[in-house]
Amino acid sequence: MTTNETLFFRDIRPFDQLRKVILPHLAEARAANRRIRLWSAACSTGQEPYSFAMIIKDIGELLNGWRVEIFATDLSSEALDKAKVGLYSQFEVQRGLPVTMMTRYFKRTEETWQIDSAIRAMVTFREFNLLEDFSRLGSFDAIYCRNVLIYFDKETKADILRRVRKILPDDGFLSLGGAETVLGVTDAFKPIDNERGLYAPA
Ligand SMILES: C[S@@+](CC[C@H](N)C(=O)[O-])C[C@H]1O[C@@H](n2cnc3c(N)ncnc32)[C@H](O)[C@@H]1O
């Protein structure tokens, strides 16, 4: 039984890592083709990939002129329908979203808050089951597979992580949720020193 529980900038650290570790690394390492692909692999109602998009908009110059693709998938078509519309309640925008981001990227419409169309346009949503083959998705520079592996048994977790490894380059990044780890599950990834929840291909 899974839940769709999520929030903007959930746990904050993974989003600081995107801003301070992942994107600066990729800005150097991908300078030749100026292309980055990020995958939010269980995006629920969209707060996680939209948080990526707000960070990318915010850092501006570093990736000006780059093609940054944010691919966001989930098993739940209901969650994705909500994600695509980008309308959130007062409660949802109050959870995790810094006030500066709220005023910059949301407009109030009666009872709800509408995310900016430019932020919405940065994210591609698609229904996808993590138990399916990943090979047709192409490769990604960073994969956020957060707060979903907890619902699977150890073998399934290991299988998903093995397949995640196949679509990450050797300098790619994997982010897991606070209650998730690769330790004791797979040796395809190793923890990155001093960056809790962030893993590199082994
Ligand atoms: C708790 S939410 C996590 C959302 C977000 N990643 C976060 O950390 O806030 C878990 C999500 O995993 C999705 N999910 C569960 N099983 C899945 C599967 N087999 N493939 C893809 N998504 C799945 C659920 O629909 C739900 O939206």
Q: Taking the domains of the chain in order of start, what are their residue ranges?
A: 13-201
**pLDDT, mean of residues 36-56:** 98
Does pLDDT of 110 surpass 90? no
Shortest-distance Cα residue to atom 23 of ligand 1:
75
Element (H, E) at 109: strand 106-109
Is the beta carbon of 10 within 6 A of some atom in ligand 1? yes
**With contact defined as beta carbons under 8 Å apart, do 6 and 48 qualify?**
yes
| Residues whose CB falls within 8 Å of the CB of residue 33, separated by 6 or more in sequence, listed in order | none
pLDDT at 67: 97
pLDDT at 19: 97
What does the DSSP assignment read for 113-155?
EEEPHHHHTTEEEEE--TTS--GGG---SEEEE-SSGGGS-HH
**Residues linked to residue 174 through DSSP beta bridges, in sequence order:** 143, 199
Shortest-distance Cα residue to atom 27 of ligand 1:
44
75 CA to middle of ligand 1, Å?
Answer: 7
Nearest Cα to 63, choosing from 104, 93, 29?
A: 29
Q: Which CATH superfamily is domain 13-201 in?
A: Vaccinia Virus protein VP39 (3.40.50.150)
Shortest-distance Cα residue to atom 17 of ligand 1:
75
Percentage of the residues of the chain whose pLDDT score is greater than 70: 100
Sheet of 173-176, strands arranged across: 123-127, 67-74, 35-40, 142-145, 173-176, 198-201, 189-191
32 CA to middle of ligand 1, Å?
Answer: 34
Q: What is the mean pLDDT of the chain?
A: 97
168 pLDDT tier (thresholds 50, 70, 90): very high
pLDDT at 77: 98
Tens digits of residue pLDDT in 119-135:
999 999 999 999 999 99
**With contact defined as beta carbons under 8 Å apart, do 113 and 89 qualify?**
yes
Question: Beta strand pairing status for 87-89 and 67-74?
Answer: unpaired
Is the beta carbon of 131 within 6 A of some atom in ligand 1? yes
Return the DSSP state at 193. T
Does pLDDT of 1 surpass 80? no
33 CA to middle of ligand 1, Å?
Answer: 31
**With contact defined as beta carbons under 8 Å apart, do 56 and 23 qualify?**
yes
Query: Counting atoms of ligand 1 from 1, which one is nearest the CA of 44?
Result: 27
3-state secondary structure of 9: coil
| Residues whose CB falls within 8 Å of the CB of residue 161, separated by 6 or more in sequence, listed in order | 149, 174, 182, 185, 186, 188, 189
Percentage of the residues of the chain whose pLDDT score is greater than 90: 96
Shortest-distance Cα residue to atom 3 of ligand 1:
147
**With contact defined as beta carbons under 8 Å apart, do 128 and 54 qualify?**
no
44 CA to middle of ligand 1, Å?
Answer: 6
